[in-house]
Amino acid sequence: MNHPNWMGDLLVSRPNFGNLKINQVMLPGTHDSGTFRIGAPTQGDHTARTQSLSFAEQLELGVRYFDLRVKLGNSAYYPYHGPWTSDSDLCRKGDNPDDPNNKLQFKQMRDFLKQHPKEIIILKFQGFLDFTSDQDYYDFVELLKNYFTFPGCNLVTLAHGTAAKINQQTVNSLLAANKRVFLFFDKTNVPQQKKVWDFAFQYLPTLKKLNLGLWDPYWREENANIADDNIDLTIRWWPFHQRNLTKWSHDGIFVLQSHMQQLPGKESDAYFNISEQAAAANYYMNTDPKGNLIRNNARNIAKYIEWYNAGIWLNVVTFDFIQHGDVCDAIVNNYLNTVLLK
C-alpha cells in the first residue's frame, strides 16, 4: 500500500504527531536509493543494485530518507554504487527545474513535494566521485537550491556546527517555516565554504562521529563477518543497533541501517539478486517460513517498532528493496494505533 501523504494525514488524524522532533520520528529510508537503474540481471555482479523503485515510486510508497552516492560526468550528476553507475540522472548543470520536459530524478522529487505540501524529506550525499574542482560542488548545491526552493518549500537552514539545532526542530516548526528538505553532505574533500555549508549539514560516514548532524553507524566497522542466521541476528546484529542507540545523544539525525551484509550472486529469476530475495523473506524459506535472515525486512521492522513502542528513541530506518516486508505500512499503521498520538 502506498502512503504518499502519510505525514500530512497524521497531522490531521493524530495532531500530536506534529509535536514530535524530526529526529524522534521513525522515518522509512532506503539504502543506496538511486541504484534502481544500476546493473542488469545478466551481469555477473548483482550486489550494486539495492532498490528497484524509482524516487517517485519510493516517495509514493512513503520513503522520506534517501541515501545517495553521486558521480559527475558530462555535466550530469547521477547515482553510483561501487564500480556501477546509473543511467538515470539526478540533475544536470544548467537545468531549469520548471521545464515541463525535465524528467530527471530531482524534478520528480520536486513535483512530489509540490503535490504533497506536508511531507518532509532528508537527502544524504556521499562519495562525490569525479568532482574535480570546487566549482563542481558549488554547482551541485545551486542545483539543489533551485530544485527544492519554491513557494511552500525551502531547504532546512539552521545554525551549523551543532547537531543540537536539529534536535530543536519539530514537524510543526519545520512546516511552519516551509523547511521541508534536509541536505547532508559527507564533509570529506568538500570545500569548507559558506556557499556549501549554509545549505547542507555535515556528517562523516564513520562509527564514532557523534558530534555532527547525522550518524549512520555501519556494521562493517564493528565486524565484517556477521552471518545470515538466527544466532547472529539475536546475539550480534540487534544488539549492535541497541548499543548504538544507547550511545546516541539524541542530537542530529540517527540512521539505523538494515542492510547487513553483502550477498553476491543471483539464485532466482524472481528477484534481481540474493539481497532482494533475502529482503522479501523468501531466501531459506524451506528451513524457516518466517525468513531466517538478518536481512529480512519484515522481521527487522517488527523489531524496530517493538523497540520504538517500548520507549527507545529511533529515527531513520533504512532498507534494501523497501517494497518488501510492508515496511512503510508497518510504520504508518503503528502511528495510527499508538496511544502516544491518540
Taking only the tens place, the pLDDT of each residue in 308-329 is 999 999 999 999 889 988 999 9
Count the neighbouring beta carbons within 10 Å of the beta carbon of residue 137. 20
CA gap 187, 128 in Å, rounded: 10
* pLDDT the model gives residue 207: 56
Q: What is the pLDDT of residues 292-311, one digit of tens each?
A: 566 688 888 999 999 999 99
DSSP state of 4: T
pLDDT of 98 over the 60 cut: yes
Give the DSSP H/E element, type plus range, for residue 161.
none
Average pLDDT across the chain, whole number: 85
* pLDDT the model gives residue 284: 47
Distance between start and end Cα atoms, the chain? 23
224-234 mean pLDDT: 59
Distances (CA, A) of 231 to 165, 227, 237, 239, 320: 40, 8, 9, 12, 22
Q: Strand pairing partners for 277?
A: none
Which residues, other chains included, contact 311 with Cβ-Cβ below 8 Å and sequence gap of 6+? none
> Cell 517488527 maps to which residue?
302
| Cell numbers representing residue 283 in the block | 531466501
Most confident of 30-44, 80-94, 259-273, 302-316: 302-316
* pLDDT the model gives residue 181: 98
* pLDDT the model gives residue 223: 55
Distances (CA, A) of 315 to 31, 73, 227, 251: 15, 34, 26, 11
Give the DSSP H/E element, type plus range, for residue 278.
helix 274-279
232-257 mean pLDDT: 84
* pLDDT the model gives residue 227: 58
Which residues, other chains included, contact 96 with Cβ-Cβ below 8 Å and sequence gap of 6+? 102
Read off the amino acid at residue 188: T
* pLDDT the model gives residue 60: 98
Helices (H), 170-232: 171-176, 194-197, 230-232
The answer to whether 31 touches 257, Cβ cutoff 8 Å, is yes
